[in-house]
Structure 1
Amino acid sequence: MSRLYHNESGRVIPSLCEELTRFRRVRVILNLPATGSDAILYLLVRPHRVGDNPLHWSVNGICQEAIEAGEDLHYRWYERTVKPGHLRDGNNTVELWTDDAAMTGWSLALEAGGATSNCSLTDDGGESWRSHRMGYLNAVEGNYCVRIRLEEGRDDPPPDMAWESAGHPRAQTMRDRIPRGIVNGSDRLTRVRALSAWIAASWEHSGSRRGTAYAPWDAETILAWGVSRHGHSGESSITMCVHYAVAFVSACQALGIPARCSALMGTPNSYEGHFVAEVWFDDYRKWVMVDPNIDAILFHGGKPLSIPEIQGLNGGLAPYVEWGSGTRFQRTFSHMRDFIRNSLLRGVCFRHRSIWPRTDFFSHPELTPPGHGSVSYCETDLVWSEPDREAGFGMFRYFAPDAYFAAPPDGAANA
């Protein structure tokens, strides 16, 4: 077993992160137990350019081998080994910097908004340090995304699911927004398929390369921003796969249908991700995968499939997909046609799965991530399958057995 040590939860807003230079350096202090084994350091960073642009780092004052910039200029996790002799029982300091004098070297992810915990910043090469006015604009407080996994210790068990109350006043306004024909539908599968079609046909998928204002996990705001394509401060909105799933899950719960969000991933630490929903069906005693972005459910033998059942097909999913009417709208966009052809139908995005263990987006918006999907997956609240810990997902803290994912929705509204 092993345990992840960290000061933040991965709620990253890319536009509020840190820049590293020769003079502008950061320190992160992690309290660790004594260890006799190699540790794994995880850094969520991005280089500005490829080439002569190393990222320097040290542990407890001991310089480590610099990290060279790869071809990927997006935020992603860089994983490095730390020798046990470089660590100590108690506080351990990781320091990061680059060679550039200007902010043209590397960016470091920052979770803004929380109280700073054992992180500091210098602008003069280390003469003085501060733990406030952080981020490249010197305007926020927070914690840098630097994590360490040790063999000593054991990750905490994943949390129980937190469900939204169907009696929440926002659930009522959401019900009022759903077309009457769906609200008054007959069986659950019919209503679920109608909800998926409605959500998928409501707006064009717009990711972080097509917009600038990330929509919060608020279903009615998502629908409004998606349709208008304008969000906070009038900027172009980011309303992508995660937002279709969140809006769909909130709509399901408003109708008393248990549903939850699932984050999918192809290659670990890549941009082969996707975000879908799962709906509980008493008739089948399982969670059924619903993709409300492209309006698709997979069937085999006349029965809808769960994510583990889809994973068991090992790709080649075209014969099992039943498209809804919302698919026609999404297929009018070339980037969605590319995704369907290159990722979904090949089963790439289904290789690894996790769930977001909360659906109370109306009751607790402060607990939703502010930028999921804009950078490589980083939220520590995600719950992954147990084998994923050793399969490239060691930067997360929650892993669960199959029974956790298959458990019925105790405590959820179930009309």
Structure 2
Amino acid sequence: MAQAPSPVKLARVRTVAQDAMRGARWWTLLDLEKTLRADAEFWRDLWAPSLAIAAHKVGLKGARATLDEAIDAGFHQTDLFEPELSAAFGRDPDWAQVLERAKANVPAPPLRITAWPEPGTGAPLRLDRIEAHREGQLASRLPRPSEGAWQTARDLLAWTSALWRHANARINAGDAVDVLEQVALGARYSCVEYSIVLAQGLNALRIPARRVWLRRGDYHDGVGQGHAVAEAWIDDLDRWVLLDGQHGAYWADEDGRPLSLPELQARERPARPVHVGPRQAIQDPALWWAYF
């Protein structure tokens, strides 16, 4: 087994590997295999399937080897890598069996709730505020507020989404000032850090906001099953609105009305993502809608 890299090196390699995947720099990704094998958190569910695709793209023999290895180890999230996986290996005579092997790896959830209790009176609302002595430092880094709360929230949403490109790195126990300081030095983080900056930034601008954790129905196993966003109370609209800092987007109904988390969860039909920042539009809305 490869020796585990230091946390700093691992974060850097993860970012390089992610960028190589997005930019179709297949040889760059393949050159990182030794280090990626030591990434116990993501090897089976992310890097092994990605390396199989990369190996096929450059024409290496036995390109499917790391995919088969991952399936033998319990990988099952083939849908996250489509249509690339089927484009690469769909003509293999045993491809249907490969998919069945992966499907058989899906574990049963440890707990399944079949009867939902009626919620009673909730605890006092907890907003995600930065420590009081740090609020001035944060406010000085934020865009100037607009006249209305909704425009201010939209401006901060767009600004937050443009701060860095998403990466699977994390900053432990950091607040929005910590994140912004590290981003200024070139660091890149996950959806969690977008939600920290957005929620704490909104509160610093006197717009009540909280962070929200979203989970897919199959969140109990695999990668990419959770997502972090913010929800803000917008006086102009007299409602809570869910704001996705990673994508620079909120979700709206058929009339263009911004929606809260409970409204999104109650819908039978997907809502429409509305983008306000410079980030590329969500490429697969149905994938992200699964979090609601």
Q: Please, what TM-score do these two structures have when normalized by structure 1?
A: 0.39
SS of alignment partner, residue 167 of structure 2: coil
State yes or no: 1:278 paired with 2:234: no
1:169 counterpart letter in structure 2: H
Go from structure 1 to structure 2 and tell me whether the alpha carbon gap of 1:164 and 1:305 turns closer, same or farther (over 3 Å shift): closer
Instruction: Measure, in 2, the Cα distance between the counterparts of 1:322 and 1:206.
Output: 22
Please, which of 197, 207, 222 is the counterpart of residue 257 of structure 1? Answer: 207
Please, which of 173, 181, 186 is the counterpart of residue 147 of structure 2? Answer: 186
State yes or no: 1:207 paired with 2:168: yes
State the Cα distance separating 1:165 from its structure 2 match. 6.2
| Unaligned runs of at least 5 residues, structure 1 | 1-14, 16-44, 51-67, 82-147, 231-236, 332-336, 354-415
Matched residue, 2:261: 307
SS of alignment partner, residue 174 of structure 2: coil
Go from structure 1 to structure 2 and tell me whether the alpha carbon gap of 1:72 and 1:285 turns closer, same or farther (over 3 Å shift): same
State the Cα distance separating 1:350 from its structure 2 match. 4.2
Provide the identity percentage.
Answer: 25
Matched residue, 2:28: none
Instruction: Measure, in 1, the Cα distance between the counterparts of 2:42 and 2:129.
Output: 43
Instruction: Measure, in 1, the Cα distance between the counterparts of 2:246 and 2:153.
Output: 13
Alignment of 1:314-329 (within 5 A): 314=268, 316-317=270-271, 320-324=272-276, 326=277, 328=278
Which structure carries more helix by proportion?
A: 2
Instruction: Measure, in 2, the Cα distance between the counterparts of 1:307 and 1:198.
Output: 22
Alignment of 1:85-164 (within 5 A): 160-163=124-127
State the Cα distance separating 1:162 from its structure 2 match. 3.1
Instruction: Measure, in 1, the Cα distance between the counterparts of 2:43 and 2:203.
Output: 43
**Cα pair 1:264 1:349 within 8 Å, conserved:** no
State the Cα distance separating 1:323 from its structure 2 match. 1.4
**Cα pair 2:242 2:261 within 8 Å, conserved:** yes
2:283 counterpart letter in structure 1: R
**Cα pair 1:311 1:351 within 8 Å, conserved:** no
Alignment of 1:219-238 (within 5 A): 219-230=176-187
**Cα pair 1:200 1:294 within 8 Å, conserved:** yes
1:205 counterpart letter in structure 2: H
State the Cα distance separating 1:293 from its structure 2 match. 1.3
**Cα pair 1:245 1:261 within 8 Å, conserved:** yes
State the Cα distance separating 1:159 from its structure 2 match. 5.0
Instruction: Measure, in 2, the Cα distance between the counterparts of 1:172 and 1:265.
Output: 33
State the Cα distance separating 1:187 from its structure 2 match. 0.5
1:274 counterpart letter in structure 2: H
Go from structure 1 to structure 2 and tell me whether the alpha carbon gap of 1:289 and 1:279 turns closer, same or farther (over 3 Å shift): same
**Cα pair 1:264 1:351 within 8 Å, conserved:** no
Bigger relative contact order, structure 1 or 2 (CA pairs below 8 A, ≥6 apart) = 1
SS of alignment partner, residue 207 of structure 2: coil
Instruction: Measure, in 1, the Cα distance between the counterparts of 2:164 and 2:231.
Output: 21
SS of alignment partner, residue 341 of structure 1: coil
Matched residue, 1:174: 138
Q: Work out which of the two has the higher radius of gyration on C-alpha atoms and give 1 or 2.
A: 1
**Cα pair 1:278 1:289 within 8 Å, conserved:** yes
Superposed structure 1 runs of 4+ greater than 6 Å apart: 45-50
State the Cα distance separating 1:190 from its structure 2 match. 0.5
State the Cα distance separating 1:306 from its structure 2 match. 1.3
C-alpha distance after superposition, 1:52-78 (max 9, x if no partner): xxxxxxxxxxxxxxxx952259xxx96
Go from structure 1 to structure 2 and tell me whether the alpha carbon gap of 1:170 and 1:276 turns closer, same or farther (over 3 Å shift): same
C-alpha distance after superposition, 1:335-375 (max 9, x if no partner): xx6xx223xx11x444456xxxxxxxxxxxxxxxxxxxxxx
**Cα pair 1:266 1:349 within 8 Å, conserved:** no
Matched residue, 2:158: 197
SS of alignment partner, residue 214 of structure 1: coil
Matched residue, 2:15: none
2:190 counterpart letter in structure 1: M
C-alpha RMSD of the superposition: 4.0
Instruction: Measure, in 2, the Cα distance between the counterparts of 1:168 and 1:281.
Output: 22
C-alpha distance after superposition, 1:78-100 (max 9, x if no partner): 6688xxxxxxxxxxxxxxxxxxx
2:214 counterpart letter in structure 1: L
State the Cα distance separating 1:172 from its structure 2 match. 1.2
**Cα pair 1:205 1:241 within 8 Å, conserved:** yes
